[in-house]
Homo-oligomer: A and B are copies of this chain.
């Protein structure tokens, strides 16, 4: 039924998709009837993976009695040089038929979602099957009961932190606004007020920076549970990368497929947010929903529907969800990209005159909202938050958190820069979130920490003809040239209306 081959690393990075390379004349390929793109099961010391087969021409680079594994396959199997893996045909994933049922419009049960989550984590579902599942959930195709079931399945598949406190605060932003890096400021203010706020953040997947990428410019974020506990016990808050913890681990798999497809599902989004929040052990969550034509939430109707679902599903997990709808018409602050956003964050915490006032105001709104939740007040929190920020207590708390996470570093400036000039004069009416994000990504963000875009004007301000609209920052001349060429081709990134503002 199974057969054995020596395993070697292929030295090929296929990202998260496990791939196995076997030669066309290998005895297992011949006996088992494996052909290219077959899914193959490999067992080694109690672990097993399902990998996609790529067939290597005889004599190319792989001996016939060896199978080479992509980096992700090698890591998932915990293989070592000299290991011999057992090869077999995988059974179809048990949940494939549930995914099919969902594509036809069926309602799924709690057991169905558990099966899908388990098969996802065990790599038993192909990327195509995951794409079908996520497409079948698009829009409002998961109802409330299904959303609760999916959230629970995702939560129960991972670890849960417990802080032993009646009140653990948290915040989340539904995303889509470049530069909207309020978390480090909010955590600093709320922790300075004496509350507990263990914030885990994600790295960028399709955006120019995630909070974890921005924070990493200033301090280590890749902490394990023990290290996080030490930071939070000492300082009340942290801003760390959630990926080193096993919190709602299926979410990363879903996001990996969902983001390139740019599909949103209300149910998926709610399950993604709330399973992570419940897993991290928070019980009061303020959710920021920027609404705007190029933001993730595009209308107030959509925001209301998403908000209702978040609150309703939160009840099932003892999560008190409070909503904050904000303006999502354009980027926040001046910087887009990890180091440029970190500079904005520091500028606000340091109360500099040049600090972006919109970022400051948003952070105060959110910190105030959390302090209201904590004190049971309505509106009093914002003044307290402002006092904490203006007193320097938030800056001191932020530096203390960074010290506990492993030390603070000042963000560095990019070596390569180019200005993009206004084609004509007038009032800046709007900035396209998606285009400006793409320009920052082409410049190298978030892979190159210093790369991105610094805006010189904000909506409502006037621009003279030939005045710089923004500066592109990059770490290499190639990336700078590429991003700049794209920006020149897409001047509609900024809408400049002629005449008075």
Contact = CB atoms under 8 A, between A and B. Distances in A.
Interface of A: 1, 3, 10-17, 19, 21, 24, 30-33, 35-37, 54-57, 60-61, 70, 89, 96, 100, 103-105, 126-129, 131-132, 134-136, 138-139, 257, 260-263, 442, 444, 447-448, 476-479, 481-482, 485
A37 to B, nearest CB: 4
Contacts of A126: 260
Given A37-B17, A128-B257, A56 B11 contact: yes
12 contacts: A10-B60, A12-B21, A12-B54, A12-B55, A12-B60, A14-B54, A32-B479, A54-B70, A89-B482, A100-B262, A128-B128, A131-B135
Contact of A136 (B31, B135, B257, B482): B135
A220 B327 CA distance: 67
Contacts of A31: 476-479, 482
Contacts of A139: 103-105
Nearest to A55: B13
Given A37-B15, A54-B12, A135-B103, A482 B260 contact: no
A31 to B, nearest CB: 3
**A96, A103, A260: most-surrounded residue (chain B CB, <10 A):** A103
Contacts of A485: 1
A214 B443 CA distance: 55
A32 B261 contact: no
A479 to B, nearest CB: 6
Nearest to A141: B105
Contact of A33 (B1, B30, B260, B448): B448
A438 to B, nearest CB: 9
Given A15-B35, A103-B135, 11 more contacts: A10-B60, A13-B36, A14-B36, A19-B54, A30-B476, A31-B479, A32-B482, A33-B444, A33-B448, A35-B447, A132-B134
Given A138-B104, A262-B96, A14 B37 contact: yes
Please list the 6 inter-chain residue pairs (A to B) with the smallest Cβ-Cβ separation, ordered nearest first.
A31-B478, A11-B60, A11-B57, A15-B37, A131-B131, A135-B135
A448 B14 CA distance: 31
Contacts of A482: 1, 31-32, 89
A36 B70 CA distance: 11
A338 B57 CA distance: 27
A89 B442 contact: yes
Name the residue among A89, A262, A448 with the largest chain B CB count within 10 angstroms.
Answer: A262
A477 B407 CA distance: 63
A287 B12 CA distance: 48
Contact of A261 (B30, B60, B128, B481): B128
A1 B481 contact: yes
Contacts of A12: 21, 54-57, 60
Contacts of A35: 15, 447
Contacts of A481: 1
A101 to B, nearest CB: 10
A481 B19 CA distance: 26
Given A3-B478, A261-B129, A476-B30, A11 B103 contact: no
Nearest to A61: B61
Nearest to A265: B103
A487 to B, nearest CB: 12
B33 A261 contact: no
Contacts of A103: 135, 138-139, 261, 263
